[in-house]
Amino acid sequence: SSELTQDPAVSVALGQTVRITCQGDSLRTYYASWYQQKPGQAPVLVIHAKKKRPSGIPDRFSGSSSGDTASLTITGAQAEDEADYFCNSRDSSGKVTFGGGTKLTVL
């Protein structure tokens, strides 16, 4: 299956650490990327190839992967990190799947 499963919602206290996960069989072979989307805006790439951070993305964002699960960790969450987060991967046919998204609330 090429489905990717994410928790629908996660919350974190301001300044604390939060982990958002993405689970799917394709992640055993292919690499996850992560996107942040704020209301009314296009998604922004925050992590690609499991753990690579594009230029301009704060280093409090990090990625990791083990087995069929990829994780996005925000260390010291800020108010501006409140957003929807989506993962994606590819499958063996070259198609792409996105996870259902996780709504992050910063308390």
Partner 1 sequence: QVQLVESGGGLVKSGGSLRLSCAASGLTFSDDYMSWIRQAPGKGLEWVSHIGSSGTYTNYADYVKGRFTISRDNAKNSLYLQMNSLRVEDTAVYYCARRSMSDCSDGTCYSYYFDYWGQGALVTVSS
The residues, ordered by sequence, that sit 6+ positions from 81 with a Cβ below 8 Å of its Cβ are 36, 60, 74, 104, 106
Distance in angstroms between the alpha carbons of the first and the last residue of the chain = 35
Q: Tell me how far, at minimum, the Cβ of 73 lies from partner 1, in Å.
A: 18
**Closer by beta carbon to partner 1, 25 or else 76:** 25
Nearer to partner 1, 17 or 52 (CB): 52
Rounded-to-integer distance, Cα 24 and Cα 99, Å: 9
Chain contacts with partner 1 (rule: CB under 8 A): 29-31, 33, 35, 37, 42-45, 48-50, 52, 54, 84, 86, 88-90, 93-101
Do 5 and 45 meet the contact criterion of CB atoms below 8 Å apart? Answer: no
Distance in Å, CB of 106 to partner 1, minimum: 20
Minimum CB separation from partner 1 for residue 71, in Å? Answer: 16
Pick the closer one to partner 1 by CB: 53 or 76. 53
CA distance 34 to 95: 17
